[in-house]
Amino acid sequence: MFSEARQLLALISDSLSTLEDTCARNKTTIPNLREPFTPASEAFRTDPQAARAASIISAAALQLEAIFTAPQVSLYHIVAGSSKAAALRVCLESNVTEILREAGLEGMHVNDLAKINGQDPMKLSRFLRYLSTCHVFVELSPDVFANNRISSLMDTHKSVRDLLAQPEEKYTNTNGMAAFVGHHLDETFKSAAYAWETLVDPEMGKSSETTAAPFNKVYNTKETFFSYYELPEQIDRRRRFGIAMQGVEKMQPPSAILNAFDWDKLPSESVVVDVGGGVGAACLSLSEHFPGLRLVVQDLPGIIDSAHEVWSKRNPKAISSGQVLLQVHDFFTEQPQKQPAVYFFKHVLHNWSDEKCKEILIRLRESAGGATRLVLMESLISYSCHNPGADYTVPSNHVEAPKPLLANFGTVNEMGYVLDMIMFLILNSQERTFRGMDLLLRSSGWKIVGVRGQAFDSSFFQIEAEPI
């Protein structure tokens, strides 16, 4: 028998050959860690074979690290998560990425960097050196730092002069990634420190209420996460969160909405209802590619007001022609759109406990026709073990990672698991396994008939269900 390490090395070698051959065929390249991120640098992942090969390489390398690194060091990698987050927040809030971008490829000495952002250079060098050790930023020579592929993701692409003059506008008109990082390093990071205290709280620990989250304990509020953002004094956090969610949209595959369902097979004039659809980002894409569909975007009054502004700029003809209807609706109440072709949900159910999700889904089942389909875009959390049984696996073409890798590709596939933790921290809710989603839907009058997505990306699955 080959040792596990030899098997992992063979997986890396074989997968790298596959990746190189695929990139050569597609005229794409493997990214350079030292160069700033650009969307084009991720083009190689659009080929499923290349994406899988890259995931196998990463998973095998991380598993080798777990084998050969002293266990106390590996454990400390986890313990030190708070230290990494603290260092990263200092650099984000003090505009280090933008300052280093303006400095260019030669980088900048920490003394000069500190003169611009007002930080103590000795302390700032410690934060930057720690992050560089984790491959975020790079130390070119003693105390001289520059951006790399990972740190450049926090770049707002604004001038340092503008950032210093208008710090409250830091995230406005950006791609949302820096705002996404800022949100997680603020509310979510602080909430994480109170996870245990929340679980042992006699009132909060066993509660399924949205207001029983660690977020509520750390901010000492009875408001839900979203209603807390509506408080006047939280306007900056509310704005940052809205921009951050636009960043999340950019993280998903560009074709995720279009490939979520066979939209082109629906008859002309079929009605698609985007329930809890926000400002209608998903329907904007559908309206452009499938003009024969009638689209309804539903959400609460303030959000629908914002939706009118968005559509008036992006696709006013869709509104004036009647192709798209922006409708105020609370999804805990009776659904006004009866027997449509599709009820569509995008990252909605993960905001709610099973009890609340059942209320939402039962309302839809009551209004569905026999041919109505429910299409969900949600994370699906895979088990880390191999072959747990047919009742527990995702029923599609999702292939587990090859042994001896963890079946779920380990921390390469961490995003969905991180989202699961975040849902607990801020909303006392959850991402779900396939089995959990299946049981939830069946208890609400629906059954799953198909799943689309990639096993090595737990964040973006498309689930199709029909009425029972």
Report the alpha-carbon distance of residue 145 to residue 76 in Å, rounded: 25
Neighbour-count burial of 326, counting CB atoms closer than 10 A to its CB (0-12 exposed, 13-18 middle, 19+ buried): buried
5 contacts: CB under 8 Å, gap ≥ 6: 64, 67, 68
Cβ within 8 Å of residue 189, ≥6 positions away: 82, 85, 89
Query: Degrees (nearest 5) of the Cα angle 299, 246, 136?
Result: 150
Dump the DSSP string for 260-301.
SS-GGGSPTT-EEEEET-TTTHHHHHHHHH-TTSEEEEEE-H
Secondary structure (3-state) at 255: coil
What's the rounded Cα separation, in Å, for the pair 162 and 172? 12
Per DSSP, the three-state class of 342 is: strand
Q: Which of 179, 169, 166, 160 shows the shortest CA–CA distance to 101?
A: 160
Question: In this structure, are strands 373-378 and 342-346 parallel, antiparallel, or unpaired?
Answer: parallel
d(CA 260, CA 462): 5
Question: CA 205, 206, 207 angle in degrees (round to 5)?
Answer: 100
Q: What's 136's DSSP letter?
A: S
Rounded Cα distance, 110 and 128, in Å? 9
Q: Which residues are known to be catalytic?
A: 350
Q: Can you list the alpha helix ranges (DSSP code H) found in 69-157?
A: 71-79, 81-93, 96-103, 110-117, 121-133
Give the residue among 383, 410, 455, 382 at the shortest CA–CA distance from 67. Answer: 410
Widest distance between CA atoms in the chain: 69
